[in-house]
Amino acid sequence: MPNLFGEIEPGVAEVVPFDGGARAYSYSVPAALKDTLQVGQLVRVPLGNRNSLGVVWKYPAEPLADTKLRSIIMLEHEQPVMTPDCCKLAEWMAAYYGCGLNSVLETVLPAAVRKGVRPVLRRMLSLVGPIDLEALAKMRKKAPRQAQLLDFMSAQKEPVDRAKTTNGLGISQQAVDALIKAGLIKEDASVLWRVAYNDPFSESESVPALGHELNTMQKEAVASATETLDQKTFRTHLLHGVTGSGKTEVYVALIRKVVQEGGSAIFLVPEVALTPQTVGRLRSRLADLGTKVVVWHSHLSAGERFDAWMAMSLGQARVVVGARSAVFAPLPNLRLIVVDEEHEPSFKQGETPMYHGRDVAVYRASLLGAACVLGSATPSLESWKNATGGRYILNTMPQRVDDRPMPAFRIVDMRREVLHAKGQSILSRELVDGIHERLKKGEQAILFLNRRGHSRSLVCPDCGEAVKCPCCSVSLTLHITDHTARCHLCDHREPAPKVCPSCQSPKVRWKGYGTQKVEEVIAKLFPRARVARMDADTMGKKDLFRKVLSDFRAGKYDMLLGTQMIAKGLDFPRVTLVGILDADLSLQMPDFRAPERTFQLLTQVAGRAGRGTLEGAVVVQTFQPASDPIQFAKRLDFHGFAKSELLKRAEFGYPPERHLVRHVFRGRNLEKVNFVAEAWVKEFERLHAGLAEIRGPAPCPFERVQDQHRVHLWYFVTGVKSLLAAILPLRAKILRDEDVIDTIDVDAQDCG
């Protein structure tokens, strides 16, 4: 294995114990391990008065003068659990995101690996040689069970599993041991991998094994990335293709090339649970190469995660599809990392370490000299600036496959609609007429509303109070299915009140609407329509989402109603109408990225229409029809939107013009939180005047979450490294009060 850390005399290794704080310790290497120890292996070492598991971080390492080192106790697995480049990657993440190395390792390595889980061993039986038929005939009289086993094994071409065979035939273990002792059969131990690629993930999606003939735009994109792969150098490609332009076929072609040449590939998607079609396509297209595709998702058990991790490390599976954590897969000879829908906020982790999967993918590719392909119909402005500025290679696919037309885009001004409405103003007249027309033709429709639940808030007309969560500073949402009022931040639940909790008035009214209420309206307007609802409330059961999507694709439903779950990467040829309800909902967020998120969401959802041979249409309902994101989305004009938005970002110094670091202080005592935040700013500006532009401290948009008051401030900087070098030492000085906790979010995506 190549050593990324320099050539030094063997004998000393640096190990990072999982419970030893954010640092590496030096240990002497036993003579038995000197020639076999590798970076990334899991070892057991003494730490204080206990033993701890850890990862070999550097070997050989610098010997420490005049220091007697304790020795590595044992090697847990011969196969490394981390590749050398992942060790470098972890160090970079700890430095760039301002967190401890241990918190990074908790993210990089599955819990089962960190706890020292061992592979499940299965005992395999095989014949030592040809069976003597005369001796077998005698055995049938004296030892019929032993003869039965020999007869069974004689008919098998491969070794058989001891446990399954004895259980299936009803043979005792003593009979097996007697045959082993007699030298007629032998037993070998092998690892039983509970592999993640044996799941039924794509059973419901039928995908042809042969791919489509690539069109000119797809061939150009493949040729550009192929040049990078052939040169075996690091480059990042931004594949900007409109919805339905065939980006997935480009990814598959590149992955096939890498696998054919003996390499490995990582395919990152925003949410693996919602991409059964992509997984099915990859598996079918790689089947002829004998390559297994690991699907790294949240439903894997601890044992399955461990075995899948080790299977990737051993090269038994050389392609992994997964969400952001799949970027750390220990694949050998990794040559390609694909990040599909790279603009999606879900690639950003919301807890320490707050890394961005896309950025980590780019950095890992740079360590390996590999190719990184970022794909999106609506790229993030950070990636777009990198591409237009020459840091990334820009590959464009501006047309749909087979020259299919983009969907017709209609904007409905809901201010006028409300004036003409007679009781029902959730679905506009134009959208209702469009649905009726599709139902008559036997076509399908998708309705999108990014708000679950039934009604948004309960308001009392007598005292003006809204029913709020007791732990968070948000209103409770009505869920009609179980008649509860819920908080969507902390999941507090209580029976839906029938009178005002403040003044006991019975006149309380629920305001606003969510997917549950829309479902009620649809049932009244279209009583014969078959409707499926997809949101966090209905998709709790494992694999249910996959069945619903498969049934919708098969035509068992006429309409699909859902939240952002249905906005990502779905391809349904019979969908000819998409209705977007309350399109400006995301514009109401106190976030400078709100216009970008709105434009991306509208464009992505609209892209679900007209993907087959039938022409599609999109109806957008909004109270702000003149807003820039909605007007640019209507024209499907990404270039115009990006140019306009980047000018505004540059004027105010927002990303991608500068880095944005968010610093959140939280605690149960509001006065303490405010005091610490203000003292922090004063001390920081005294010690590091001019290092960063600071805005705040100010209350977070969600001022209280889970009974914790929250205050944040923002640092606007051109470089993160110098800022963190100033922040981290100051934390030990200022943040001594255990009642106040702080978190640092580099390149923050969430402003709530």
Residue count of the chain, please give it.
Answer: 752
> What are the pLDDT digits (tens) for 328-346?
999 999 999 999 999 999 9
Task: Tell me: pLDDT of 738 over 50.
Answer: yes
pLDDT score of 2: 41
Angle between the 173-181 and 162-169 helix axes, to the nearest 10 degrees? 120
pLDDT score of 88: 95
> What are the pLDDT digits (tens) for 669-709?
999 999 999 999 999 999 999 999 999 899 999 999 999 99
- Spell out the residues 6+ positions from residue 271 whose beta carbon is closer than 8 angstroms to its own: 323, 346, 565, 568
Model confidence at 542, pLDDT cuts 50, 70, 90, reads: low
Candidate from 115-124, 228-237, 334-343, 404-413 with smallest mean pLDDT: 115-124
Task: Tell me: pLDDT of 637 over 80.
Answer: yes
Encoding tokens for residue 176? Answer: 């097996």
> What are the pLDDT digits (tens) for 564-591?
877 766 778 888 999 999 888 888 787 8
CA neighbor of 326 nearest in space, from 262, 272, 375:
272
Model confidence at 135, pLDDT cuts 50, 70, 90, reads: confident
The Cα–Cα gap between 13 and 19 comes to: 18
Query: Which range, 57-66, 253-262, 454-463, has the best average confidence (pLDDT)?
Result: 253-262
Candidate from 108-112, 132-136, 601-605 with smallest mean pLDDT: 132-136
Q: In the predicted model, what is the mean pLDDT of residues 6-17? A: 74
For 495, other C-beta atoms within 10 Å of its C-beta total 9
- Phi/psi zone of residue 105: left (φ > 0), alpha (ψ -120 to 50 degrees), beta? alpha
pLDDT score of 338: 98
pTM of the full predicted structure?
0.88
> What are the pLDDT digits (tens) for 157-179?
888 888 888 888 888 999 899 99
Q: In the predicted model, what is the mean pLDDT of residues 534-544? A: 75
Q: In the predicted model, what is the mean pLDDT of residues 310-325? A: 89
For 170, other C-beta atoms within 10 Å of its C-beta total 8
> Widest CA span of the chain, in angstroms?
99
Inter-residue contact 271 to 568 (CB < 8 Å): yes
Task: Tell me: pLDDT of 195 over 70.
Answer: no
Task: Tell me: pLDDT of 48 over 60.
Answer: yes
C-alpha distance from residue 266 to each of 249, 652, 718 (Å): 15, 37, 31
The secondary structure element, H or E, covering residue 446 is strand 444-448
The Cα–Cα gap between 700 and 709 comes to: 9
Distance, CA of 307 to chain centre: 20
The Cα–Cα gap between 362 and 298 comes to: 23
3-state secondary structure of 177: helix
Within 13 Å and on the Cβ side, how many CA atoms surround 615? 3
pLDDT score of 375: 96
Model confidence at 62, pLDDT cuts 50, 70, 90, reads: confident
The Cα–Cα gap between 583 and 565 comes to: 16
Task: Tell me: pLDDT of 253 over 90.
Answer: yes
> What are the pLDDT digits (tens) for 448-505?
998 888 888 878 888 877 788 889 988 888 888 888 888 888 989 988 888 888 888 8
Q: Render the burial of 421-433: b for 16+ CB within 10 Å, e for the rest.
A: eeeeebbbebbbe
The secondary structure element, H or E, covering residue 365 is helix 357-368
Place of tokens 């220091």: 67
Task: Tell me: pLDDT of 434 over 90.
Answer: yes
3-state secondary structure of 371: strand
Encoding tokens for residue 39? Answer: 């970076």
Q: Render the burial of 219-235: b for 16+ CB within 10 Å, e for the rest.
A: eebbebbbebbeeeebb
Going by the DSSP 8-state scheme, the letter that residue 213 receives in this structure is P
> What are the pLDDT digits (tens) for 204-246?
454 555 667 899 999 999 999 999 999 999 999 999 999 888 8
The secondary structure element, H or E, covering residue 411 is strand 408-413
Inter-residue contact 664 to 714 (CB < 8 Å): no
The Cα–Cα gap between 665 and 713 comes to: 9
- Name the β-bridge partners of 58: 14
Q: In the predicted model, what is the mean pLDDT of residues 408-420? A: 86
Inter-residue contact 145 to 152 (CB < 8 Å): no
User: What would the DSSP string read from start to end of 94-148?
Assistant: HHHTT--HHHHHHHHS-HHHHTT--PEEEEEEEESS---HHHHHHHHHH-HHHHH
Task: Tell me: pLDDT of 6 over 50.
Answer: no
The secondary structure element, H or E, covering residue 151 is helix 144-154
Inter-residue contact 641 to 629 (CB < 8 Å): yes
Inter-residue contact 337 to 370 (CB < 8 Å): yes
pLDDT score of 3: 41
Place of tokens 């070098």: 725
Inter-residue contact 271 to 427 (CB < 8 Å): no
Is the bond preceding residue 144 a cis peptide, omega within 30 degrees?
no
Encoding tokens for residue 3? Answer: 């050593």
Distance, CA of 344 to chain centre: 10
Q: In the predicted model, what is the mean pLDDT of residues 188-198? A: 67
Inter-residue contact 605 to 596 (CB < 8 Å): no
Model confidence at 372, pLDDT cuts 50, 70, 90, reads: very high
For 524, other C-beta atoms within 10 Å of its C-beta total 8
CA neighbor of 351 nearest in space, from 745, 707, 752:
745
CA neighbor of 212 nearest in space, from 725, 526, 571:
571
Inter-residue contact 230 to 308 (CB < 8 Å): no
Inter-residue contact 509 to 459 (CB < 8 Å): yes
Q: What percent of the chain is modeled with pLDDT above 70?
A: 93
Candidate from 90-104, 208-222, 381-395 with smallest mean pLDDT: 208-222
Sheet with 659-667, edge to edge strand ranges: 693-705, 708-717, 659-667, 741-746
Residue 302: phi, psi to the nearest 5? Answer: -60, -40
Burial class of 134 by CB neighbour count within 10 A (0 to 12, 13 to 18, 19+):
exposed
The Cα–Cα gap between 305 and 483 comes to: 38
CA neighbor of 450 nearest in space, from 608, 602, 619:
602
Going by the DSSP 8-state scheme, the letter that residue 266 receives in this structure is E
Radius of gyration of the chain (CA): 30
- Spell out the residues 6+ positions from residue 272 whose beta carbon is closer than 8 angstroms to its own: 279, 295, 296, 297, 321, 322, 323, 326
Q: Long-range pairs for 594-600 at CB < 8 Å and ≥24 separation? A: 595/627, 595/628, 595/629, 595/645, 596/380, 596/381, 596/629, 596/645, 597/345, 598/627, 598/629, 598/630, 598/633, 599/378, 599/629, 599/632, 599/633, 599/638, 599/641, 600/343, 600/378
Angle at CA of residue 21, ends 17 and 26, nearest 5°: 50
Candidate from 44-48, 78-82, 195-199, 346-350 with smallest mean pLDDT: 195-199
The Cα–Cα gap between 112 and 77 comes to: 13
pLDDT score of 336: 98
